[in-house]
Chains A and B, each alone.
Chain A
């Protein structure tokens, strides 16, 4: 198969073979310089954005991450223009300052004008990003060849990560995570109950700025690899996924970091195996996959389990209803073993359908028996089971007159059921 190449996107491995040879893959992960560097870089950015993203998500600042990452672009380009250096630390510092200024500007707009936060976010994001794009195109026209590669900050180019980039990322991440650990208690207080924290004497404004700065730091760490456009996904996705699995802040932050790292490494590996898959977007897609899986299958909140639980309780309820309805019919009939038509039970059932299935289950348990053509009666075990249910519920189903009438003519046709 001919390698498909997208303009501006360079897969860093060429012509790898499928099917995937796992041993060869692990070999490469540990010994191949490029893949190892990229995977480590992606893991580092996943860990730090996952951990700090948890706080952004809990403080309902998910979109702030988006604004910050877009706002970082002019900072990167300006840092280059001023220093003519592409050292990662210089560019990251530029991004940090720009992202931080954007955040301060945003807070000012929200606090001092009638403009609401969503509009202010859109405003700040587009102004900074637009300015960044203008600067970027201007820079690319410069005769200076050193500007080459600045555009990788747009969509990111994990494949171009060098060891020195990863080292810078790792040092900054360690710094951010250390501060997060040191001020853990204070940040938790800030995120949960800011005013109470202030009443205790903690300077919540300072803590807010510190935590926001750490978030900006986490974002700029990932910019080179994932790009300003997609970086906000790395802030939100692992945290949103982690929130599905736990109700503890500590667990959530650790889990979110693990999800971020997993997305980073798997994104790097997948893009190394598949031709033409750019690493940054692949990492984001991996993170999104984790979110989808978490939303569907998480132990407490997962939609699938919720659905299963709901169906189960619905079936149990229906089973009990059929049981108690039969009990009611029997109690109104002189002969307890008299059979009652399935149509009568259907008429008595609040839910549509499922009566036949419930009867089948009840029969399997030996609580009802089929005493004729679609005629059902409770066994003695069935009677005691029904009485137990009624006792548990604390009330008996209300006898209604039309059902009463039907129960005396169980042979009635199905058309009357409604």
Chain B
């Protein structure tokens, strides 16, 4: 059975379609990237699967059942910038929020939740920051805290929205190691990703998205120049040239931005 099954999913903002007729089948135990230009609907797809955005049409099944019945099986890492990091709370407190779903209404986190949170913080290398106020964290540390919060959810499927956004190389490596660990434990991980260069290295499946689903499947089958051109609109030729030479992360980031910048124009053409 597929871990995630999306059928005919359509999401519209006012009368403009953001996602159009998306079909997606994600088998269990894979690491999948969702890539596409800015405005392609990557975040919206995640939110629609999680029921945070109401779709105009379509169906989402998690292990064969509607999402509402399978919430406990799903963990979520939102974009780091989606919250106010000046909120008066500690790292440990944020991580324990991952247990709120299992706790249900009114019950407060206790000893057990505390220990689980500490354990998750150890996994992301942030244990010594447990009592730190969250505004004192760097961007990479904030991202690790969000990951730890998802880890304590102890889910089967994880959705992560741009976990590599604005983190340094060390944190990026740590996150990749964590993703691999999750896959080895049989979890399914879906990551919204911006950096095309690292897709083949980090992931084993990829979904190319630009309002419509362009392609979805194992990297070696679908991560082709042809499909990338369909997704980004004829501007990816230089990708292959660049991929043969070593470059700094900033370069790659810049390339991704450049790609996305052009895409809106080409989308309209196509």
Residues of chain A touching chain B, judged by Cβ–Cβ distance below 8 Å, are 58, 182-186, 188-189, 191-193, 195-202, 243, 246-249, 251-252
Contacts and interface: CB of A to CB of B under 8 A. Distances in A.
Contact of B87 (A58, A184, A197, A199): A58
Given A249-B88, A249-B89, A252-B88, A195 B100 contact: no
16 contacts: A58-B87, A185-B106, A188-B89, A191-B87, A192-B84, A193-B82, A193-B83, A195-B82, A196-B76, A199-B51, A199-B71, A199-B76, A201-B68, A249-B88, A249-B93, A252-B88
Given A188-B89, A247-B135, 20 more contacts: A182-B106, A183-B106, A185-B100, A185-B103, A189-B97, A191-B87, A192-B83, A192-B94, A193-B78, A193-B82, A193-B97, A195-B47, A196-B76, A196-B149, A198-B51, A199-B76, A200-B71, A247-B89, A249-B89, A251-B88
B74 A199 contact: yes
Contacts of A192: 83-84, 87, 89, 94, 97
Contact of A189 (B47, B68, B100, B133): B100
A316 to B, nearest CB: 23
A197 B100 contact: yes
A58 B83 CA distance: 12
A248 B90 contact: yes
Interface in B39-59: 47, 50-52
Nearest to B75: A199
B184 to A, nearest CB: 25
Contact of A186 (B51, B74, B87, B105): B105
A247 B100 contact: no
Contacts of B246: none
A18 B162 CA distance: 67
Contacts of A195: 47, 52, 78, 82
B111 interface: no
Interface of B: 47, 50-52, 68, 71, 74, 76, 78, 82-84, 87-90, 93-94, 97, 100-101, 103, 105-109, 133, 135, 149
**What 10 A-B pairs come out closest when comparing CB atoms?**
A200-B101, A247-B133, A199-B76, A201-B71, A193-B83, A199-B50, A247-B88, A192-B87, A249-B88, A252-B88
A251 B83 CA distance: 21
Contacts of A184: 108
Contacts of A247: 88-90, 133, 135
Nearest to A204: B52
Nearest to B108: A185
A372 B52 CA distance: 78
A252 B87 CA distance: 11
Contacts of B88: 58, 243, 246-249, 251-252
B71, B88, B105, B109 — most chain A CB neighbours (10 Å): B88
B87 A198 contact: no
A184, A198, A252 — most chain B CB neighbours (10 Å): A198
A200 B87 contact: no
Contacts of A200: 71, 100-101
A201 B101 contact: yes
A199 B106 contact: no
Nearest to A242: B88
A177 to B, nearest CB: 15
Nearest to A198: B52
A249 B89 CA distance: 6
Contacts of B50: 198-199
A58 B105 CA distance: 22
A158 to B, nearest CB: 31
Contacts of A185: 100, 103, 106-109
B106 to A, nearest CB: 6
A193 B94 CA distance: 9
A197 B83 CA distance: 12
A222 B2 CA distance: 57
A396 B117 CA distance: 44
Contacts of B89: 188, 192, 247-249
Contacts of A251: 88
Contacts of B108: 184-185
Given A58-B87, A247-B88, A248-B89, A196 B78 contact: yes
Contacts of B101: 200-202
A146 B50 CA distance: 57
A88 to B, nearest CB: 31
A274 to B, nearest CB: 36
B39 to A, nearest CB: 19
Nearest to B103: A185
A199 B105 contact: no
Contact of A196 (B97, B105, B109): B97
